[in-house]
């Protein structure tokens, strides 16, 4: 079966699969008022997930990231990890989490086949962490990162959204932390969502400023790896950790796009920002629908646009990233 490819020659070997919209944090840039259910909470079942993973694995997907909302809120999260890791075509099973259950479950998830983990830590100052996430769980999350490193995860990635007037003074603290710890730190530029312009304009910090600061301190840009996607990665001879910058507003950001997204209710999103989701769920009900599902995936890929239109303030249908997994 042929690899998923769009009209601009981009190949898609990476799927971000959301398994829930629910979240227990209230990050000010994502769910400032916390999660409020809309409509029926009927997220993908284990058998639907199995059919989805199977179809994507037949069209070249090699890496699946389980995301949300907060994916680890699902009671069957370990079963989901196992379904993905049992598929021989999927080489990498990853998740992105706010880390609040990591200390207790890192070993269990590793044993089920999870190999990459991104933990969101927007500040190393517990007070600022609370101010940004609305949760007093800094120590718990940091214990989770230690537990992941002990459980066997080779490296842990830490995501931090850069916010003007909030965590923008934290760079020295982050750098100090990764001097002797094998953390891949990923600074994500704030993206405008349906939450509105005001928040964005008040807190958006250009990734290019951080890039300039890093380069002036001896960090150098690494040669891009197939797995990097749109991230720009930096390393420094005196540091065990590395730094990645995700700058969605940078020129050519979309040129290296290698990912597709499926929402927790089974809709395919060709981009985070430009269109409404395309229904897949009707074809996730039986294993004998695989050929039809694959045909639909190929047909939809032809619709993928060359770039997002964030620069024009067009944020698409994505009200917040918890609904589609970031």
Q: Which residue has the tokens 């002036």?
A: 216
Query: Measured from the CB atom, is 80 or 294 closer to ligand SF4?
Result: 80
Q: x/- site string to ligand SAM, residues 33 to 62, per CB under 6 A?
A: ------------------------------
The residues that bridge with 92 in the sheet, in sequence order, are 63
- Residue (55 or 191) nearer to ligand SAM, CB: 191
Chosen from ligand SAM, ligand SF4, none, partner binding at 31 (C-beta under 5 to 8 Å by type)? ligand SF4
The verdict on 23 binding ligand SF4 (CB under 6 A) reads yes
Tell me how many degrees the CA angle 321-266-80 measures, rounded to the nearest 5: 85
Shortest distance in whole angstroms from residue 27 CB to ligand SF4: 3
Binding-residue total with ligand SAM (CB under 6 A): 20
SS (H, E, C) 279-325: ECHHHCCCHHHHHHHHHHHHHHHCCCCCCCCHHHCCCCCCCCHHHCC
What residues have CB less than 8 Å from 70, skipping those under 6 apart?
20, 22, 23, 24, 25, 97, 98, 100
Contact 20, 66 (CB under 8 A): no
Residue owning tokens 């940091």: 142
Q: Does residue 119 bind ligand SF4 (CB under 6 A)?
A: no
Extract the tokens encoding 145: 């990162």
- Print the binding letters for residues 114-153 with ligand SAM: x by CB under 6 A, - otherwise: ------x---------------------------------
Beta carbon of residue 40, minimum distance to ligand SF4 (angstroms, whole number): 20
Q: Report the b/e string of 143-176 with b at 16+ CB within 10 A.
A: bbbebbbebebeebbbbbbbbeebbeebbeebbe
Query: Does an H or E element contain 120, and which?
Result: strand 116-120
Q: Candidates 50, 70, 170, 184: give the one binding ligand SAM (CB under 6 A).
A: 70
Q: Which of 161, 247, 268, 270 binds ligand SAM (CB under 6 A)?
A: 161
Q: Which of ligand SAM, ligand SF4, none does 144 bind, CB closer than 5 to 8 A by kind?
A: none
262 to 281: interface string for ligand SF4, x by CB under 6 A: --------------------
Q: Which residue is nearest to ligand SAM (CB)?
A: 326
322 binds ligand SF4 (CB under 6 A): yes
Interacting span for ligand SF4 (CB under 6 A) from 7-15, 26-34, 52-60, 199-207: 26-34
- Nearest distance, CB of residue 317 and ligand SAM, angstroms: 14
**Rounded to 5°, angle at Cα 134 from 96 and 126:** 85
DSSP 233: E
The region that residue 130 occupies, defined by phi over 0 for left and psi between -120 and 50 for alpha, beta otherwise, is: alpha
Residues that bind ligand SF4 (CB under 6 A): 23, 25, 27, 30-31, 68-70, 98, 120, 322
Residues that bind ligand SAM (CB under 6 A): 23, 29-30, 67-68, 70, 96-98, 120, 159, 161, 188, 190-191, 193, 321-322, 325-326
């Amino acid at each position: 079966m042929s690899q998923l490819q769009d009209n601009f020659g981009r190949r898609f070997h990476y799927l971000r699969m959301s398994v829930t919209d629910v979240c227990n944090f209230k990050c000010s840039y994502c769910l400032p008022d916390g999660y409020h259910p809309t409509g029926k909470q009927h997220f993908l079942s284990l058998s639907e997930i199995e059919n989805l993973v199977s179809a994507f694995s037949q069209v070249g997907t090699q890496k699946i990231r389980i995301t949300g909302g907060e994916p680890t809120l699902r009671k069957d999260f370990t079963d989901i990890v196992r379904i993905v890791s049992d598929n021989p075509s999927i080489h990498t099973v990853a998740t992105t989490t706010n880390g609040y259950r990591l200390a207790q479950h890192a070993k269990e998830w590793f044993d089920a086949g999870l190999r990459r983990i991104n933990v969101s830590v927007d500040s190393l100052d517990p007070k600022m962490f609370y101010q940004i996430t609305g949760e007093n769980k800094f120590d718990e999350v940091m214990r989770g990162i230690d537990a992941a490193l002990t459980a066997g995860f080779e490296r842990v990635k830490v995501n931090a959204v850069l916010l003007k007037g909030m965590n923008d003074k934290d760079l020295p603290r982050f750098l100090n932390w990764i001097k002797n710890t094998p953390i891949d730190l990923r600074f994500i530029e704030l993206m405008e969502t349906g939450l509105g312009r005001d928040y964005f304009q008040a807190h958006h910090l250009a990734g290019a400023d951080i890039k300039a600061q890093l380069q002036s301190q001896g960090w150098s840009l690494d040669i891009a790896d197939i797995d990097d996607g749109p991230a720009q990665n930096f390393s420094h001879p005196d540091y065990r950790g590395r730094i990645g910058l995700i700058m969605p507003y940078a020129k050519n950001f979309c040129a290296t796009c290698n990912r597709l997204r499926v929402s927790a209710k089974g809709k395919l999103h060709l981009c985070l920002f430009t269109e409404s989701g395309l229904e897949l769920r009707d074809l996730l009900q039986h294993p004998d629908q695989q050929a039809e599902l694959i045909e639909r995936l190929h047909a939809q890929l032809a619709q993928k646009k060359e770039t997002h239109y964030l620069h024009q303030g067009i944020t698409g249908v994505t009200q917040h990233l918890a609904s589609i997994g970031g």
